[in-house]
Amino acid sequence: MMAQDTFLSSVLETVELSVLCVLVVASSAVLLLLLGSGRKSVGLMIIGLMMCWLQAGWVVVTLLCVCYTLITFTAEREDPKLPVNGKSVLITGCDTGFGHSLAKFLDKAGVKVYAGVLNESGPGAEELRRYSSSLTVLQLDVTDTKQIAEALQLIKNQEKTGLWGLVNNAGVVGYLCEGEILPMRMLNKILNVNFIAGVEVTQAFLPLIRKAKGRLVNIASVAGSVPFSGFAAYGASKAAVINYSSTLRQELSPWGIKVAIVQPGHFKTNVLGNEEHWNKVQEEILGNLPQEVIEAYGEEHICSLQQFSRYLSTVGSSDFSPVVKDIKHALLSERPRDFYYPGQASWALSFIYSFCPTSLYNVFVSTLFKFPPPGSSFKK
């Protein structure tokens, strides 16, 4: 009887180990296929190898290596691109940053670009006009229903076969501070610009996109799936973008419309605002917070928060090419991905947050991302 029990236990352990091997290999294969080849695939491969060696030994490592080689070979083959002739794309938030660079990039590639700007008389809009005479600059405050309707009518009159692509790029960070002390006015603005306005623009232009069986590309952020201190409102708005877009992907598939979500890491853009804006919000916080909350956080801490925004505005990559290339892929590839993670550590942070215990992640991110704790002031 003891021998039978031992044999049965051995069989069960073997089956469990085999199932674990299959799951690990399959999961790693799917992740590598989704994330593509390159540095991030190599990084994920190293993580996978370490995990598999600890869990199941050299057999799984060998299987995973074979699987990785096959997937990398497939991913690195030339990805078929759609012809750009006759394709038109509307991009919001083209005054600066990603939208500005993307408008130039797509125009140079031969796409008909409608660049929506917050200020059609501003330096960003003027630079786009000088860059190309074929690029159409539109006054488009995404929170203004009238301006959305006017942009829709203009594009509808010019694009008889429909609009191929919409890139919802316009967004704001608002102000970096704890969720408890963020003014409700600012919270409403962040949610409105980053999420609600994008939904309104999407609903307005979807009939034209459906006509062309085109693409919808929504710019979210790694902060939409990974929590960071100081980014409660911004992260919540981008999480809403991710969930809404993922649902639309399912709902719009019967018409052949593809929906892609881009989650960039930290880049050096103007999205954080400027000194005048920071000073105004700081005064609003100090003028409206209950005294007991001010005492809990400390006035020195509250006044130091804009130093953190100032610091973040000076760091990060100023090379937007990873972002614009991913958006181009989402718009013009025959096989666009559902998610894109341009920028250093964007995919890694999402991966770590998804699979690490929360307590371990909190230690990791608090070490990496030094947001000043209550009662202290910001120091680099």
The answer to whether 341 is a known catalytic residue is: no
Name every residue whose Cβ is closer than 8 Å to that of residue 212 and which is 6 or more positions away in sequence.
Answer: 159, 161, 162, 163, 164
Give kind and range of the element (H or E) at residue 275.
helix 275-288
Q: Which of 53, 74, 165, 81 is nearest to 115 (CA)?
A: 165
Chain centre distance of CA 288 = 33
Angle at CA of residue 25, ends 20 and 26, nearest 5°: 100
Any idea which residue has 């290999």 for tokens?
Answer: 25
d(CA 365, CA 342): 19
d(CA 160, CA 191): 33
d(CA 161, CA 208): 8
User: How many helices (H) and strands (E) are present in the chain, helices listed first?
Assistant: 15, 7
Annotated catalytic residue: which of 114, 175, 234, 244?
A: 234
d(CA 327, CA 325): 5
Tokens of 112: 């008909």
Q: What is the largest CA-CA distance in the chain?
A: 87
Quick one: 346 exposed, middle or buried, by C-beta within 10 A (0-12, 13-18, 19+)?
buried
Contact 260, 217 (CB under 8 A): yes
Q: Is 265 left (phi over 0), alpha (psi -120 to 50) or beta?
A: beta
Q: Which of 214, 321, 312 is nearest to 264 (CA)?
A: 321
d(CA 67, CA 372): 44
d(CA 323, CA 264): 7
Which residues participate in catalysis according to the annotation? 234
